[in-house]
Structure 1
């Protein structure tokens, strides 16, 4: 059984390791989107404290980590392009999966569960971004119904902006 639930303080170390797996996976794919210093354990602890950190579990085993932020993203106000809606939205950040679970379709499962969390919170709109070189995430987003809306600048670099109306 697959579940998406708020991350607990005692899971922070495991979540940080999963982000490390994601960082390594990016390198294996030939690009760097996350630095050696970000995201890290402090990032996860801040997410958990702010009740934005979520874990994806497969048969009760921690398989993925992500941030689902219902407070918006200031950088998204300045987009080269246009969002498809101007209303409350959830931002999905820092999505990564344990290397033990790579290749079994967890990203698709995660996005379905993210959508449920958003709808349960009465926010039927998601925004997300990814790097230009992260072709795998671009494919996953488009396969899951996200639409490319333009370009935003985050952490000093341009990223492709996507949204999805639920």
Structure 2
């Protein structure tokens, strides 16, 4: 069990790019082994990671100063979310969660769930109304996390050439 005092959530920096890319590659392989079509078409790639970090979208969860989890958080901007087959819970400001990837060194330790706690606390601290996220129909691990964290299924969006399940959680009422 990881001690909460050992875990920190921070903005990713250029020095993190290589380890983030390694973690993304591990996650791509994990998706493949799990039989998921998600991330099997060359996306995300190293340029995606570099862009996330340079634009300030990249965040990491560290355990004892080792990067364990990566996520991209994008405020109020996901063009694919403007067209949903269904309906979002809110129309106000939101944060989009993309590219969650957990290091093999920390897989199965509940860090993806903890990541969402940190994301929600951070988003609330920014006075942003909600968190929106999408995932593949066959990404069972992420679907279970979203259900356990209280995210509501809102419908389908088309992203990266495929239909994805879209979820939202309202943080500020």
Please indicate the TM-score interval, normalised by the length of the shorter structure: over 0.9
1:39 is the counterpart of 2:39: no
SS in 2 for 1:5: strand
Other structure's SS at 1:85 match: coil
Q: Residue 92 of structure 2 aligns to a residue in which SS? A: coil
Unaligned runs of 5+ in 1: none
* TM value normalised by structure 2: 0.93
Structure 2 unaligned spans of 5+: 1-5
TM-score (norm 1): 0.97
Deviation of residue 36 (structure 1)? 5.0
Q: Secondary structure at the match of 1:122?
A: coil
- 1:60 aligns to what? 65
Q: How many residues align?
A: 166
Larger mean Cα displacement after TM superposition, 151-160 or 24-33: 24-33
Question: Is the aligned partner of 1:2 residue 2:7?
Answer: yes
CA distance, structure 2, for counterparts of residue 60 and residue 8 of structure 1? 13
1:32-75 alpha-carbon deviations (Å, 9 max, x no partner): 20035211211111011110000110121110111000132111
Give the drift of 1:10.
1.1
After superposing on structure 2, the runs of 4+ consecutive aligned residues of structure 1 that deviate more than 2 Å are none
Matching residue of 1:133:
138
Pairwise CA RMSD of aligned residues?
1.0
Aligned to 2:161: 156
Residue 89 (structure 2) pairs with residue 77 (structure 1): no
1:91 aligns with 2:96: yes
1:16 and 1:41 in contact (8 A); partners too:
yes
